[in-house]
C-alpha cells in the first residue's frame, strides 16, 4: 500500500518546482496541475528564433 503521507509530502514541493520552472522559463504548457517543461535549446529548435523570442517575452517577460 502506498503511504499517503509520503505522497502529500512529495506533492508539497510542487509550488517550489513550478516557481523555479517559471523563474528560468522552462514551462511550455501548463494546465490543471500538470506542466510540460523543455530546455531553452529545445524550445528554440522547436519554435524557431522569432517564435521562441515572442513566447519567452509573453510568458516570462524575457527579452533576447
What confidence category does residue 14 fall into, taking pLDDT thresholds of 50, 70 and 90?
A: very high
Res 64 pLDDT > 90: no
Query: pLDDT tens across 42-54, in order?
Result: 999 999 999 999 9
For 22-39, what is the mean pLDDT? 95
> How many other CB atoms are there within 10 angstroms of residue 24's CB atom?
13
CA 57 to chain centre: 15
For 9-21, what is the mean pLDDT? 96
Longest dimension (CA), the chain: 50
For 13-33, what is the mean pLDDT? 95
Dist. CA 37–CA 8, nearest whole Å: 22
Amino acid at each position: 500500500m502506498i503511504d499517503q503521507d509520503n505522497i502529500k509530502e512529495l506533492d508539497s514541493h510542487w509550488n517550489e518546482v513550478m516557481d523555479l520552472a517559471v523563474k528560468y522559463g522552462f514551462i511550455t504548457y501548463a494546465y490543471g496541475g500538470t506542466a510540460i517543461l523543455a530546455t531553452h535549446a529545445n524550445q528554440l529548435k522547436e519554435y524557431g528564433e522569432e517564435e521562441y523570442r515572442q513566447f519567452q517575452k509573453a510568458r516570462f517577460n524575457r527579452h533576447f
